[in-house]
Chain A
Amino acid sequence: MAAEAGPLAQFAIKPLIPIHIGSINASYTNSAAFMTLAVVLVSALILFSTRSASLVPSRWQSVSELAYEFIANMVRDNAGQEGMQYFPFVFTLFTFVLMGNLLGLIPYAFTFTSHIIVTFALAAVIFIGVTLIGIVRHGIGFLKLFAPHGVPIWLLPLLVPIELLSYCIRPFTLSFRLFINMMVGHMLLAIVAGFAVTFGIFAIFPVAVDAALILLELLVACLQAFVFTILTCIYLHDALHLH
């Protein structure tokens, strides 16, 4: 997809520091810069707010504690107590995706979750990790995941391929859901903003619509990060408990 002018230009990846190792282009791009910014912001929030760890939390410490409790409850409710050993990963995943989505709402900023390669890398790691957790934990009994308990034997030749397909499709739907929500949201904002140029005297209407759409995009940013994380917890539950 060439970086044409218009609604697609905002997704162009620009190398900020060109680094070429042989034939590999390992440049530090604007996508990498925003990923770094997301990690730095979240780390700074957690580290500096919990510096003077007081029993009665200050305002900033409450923010970190609320985030911790929110994800801890999500992991415990959806993946059980054994899932809590994967809590650091789930917390990192949630804050990374949430900060990535939110940073994209700043005008002229870059949304690194609006590229399928980024979300697919995340979803592939989650899928392979969760499958390996299931195989290491249950051995060959992991295949019982595809033959649910209490299914009549004549139904199995129909049910097992369907269950297998719906399992193998998980990384694709997980990644595509986040990617398409982010890309369509930002493309819609750019298209409506383009109308403001052509409407002339009535430009206030597209701008007002854009303002309302940014509120919707704020909801979608937080919601899609939440859905990405809760589906990860559900897939983890399937691997740990096989039902």
Chain B
Amino acid sequence: MDVSSAKMIGAGLAAIALAGAGVGIGLIFSSLINALARNPAANVTGPAYIGFALAEATGLFGLGIAFYILLIA
């Protein structure tokens, strides 16, 4: 197997990490919707977006490795 095919396979495998990002973001917004449904006056929307950014970042760390495998190494 030549290097460029191995790079493609490696990048594809590393991109599976984004599933965790999807689950994490879904959990955060599900609890946000639950909290707002119980108490519409609660100002938890700010921490919810901070949590979204941090969960998304963790998923994108995996995507960063995918791009590193595909493009740099």
Contact = CB atoms under 8 A, between A and B. Distances in A.
Interface of A: 1, 8, 173, 176-177, 180-181, 183-184, 223-224, 226-227, 230
Given A180-B64, A184-B63, A223-B49, A173 B71 contact: no
Contact of B57 (A1, A180, A226, A230): A180
A224 B57 CA distance: 9
**Nearest 6 CB-CB pairs, A to B?**
A177-B57, A227-B53, A180-B60, A180-B64, A223-B53, A223-B49
Interface string B15-59: 000000000000000000000000000000000011011101100
B50 A181 contact: no
Nearest to A223: B53
Contact of B50 (A173, A183, A227): A227
B72 interface: yes
Contact of A177 (B49, B60, B67, B71): B60
Interface of A is mostly: helix
Contacts of B49: 223, 226
A43 to B, nearest CB: 27
Interface residues of B, number: 14
A184 B50 CA distance: 19
B71 A181 contact: no
A18 B5 CA distance: 39
18 contacts: A1-B72, A8-B71, A173-B57, A177-B57, A180-B57, A180-B60, A180-B64, A181-B56, A181-B60, A184-B63, A184-B67, A223-B53, A224-B53, A226-B50, A226-B53, A227-B54, A227-B57, A230-B50
Given A181-B57, A224-B53, A176 B64 contact: yes
B60 A1 contact: no
Contacts of B50: 226-227, 230
Contacts of A8: 71
Contacts of A183: 67
Q: Chain A CB within 10 Å — which of B53, B57, B72 has the most? A: B53
B44 to A, nearest CB: 15
A224 B53 CA distance: 7
A180 B63 contact: yes
A176 B64 CA distance: 9
Nearest to B64: A180
Nearest to B53: A227
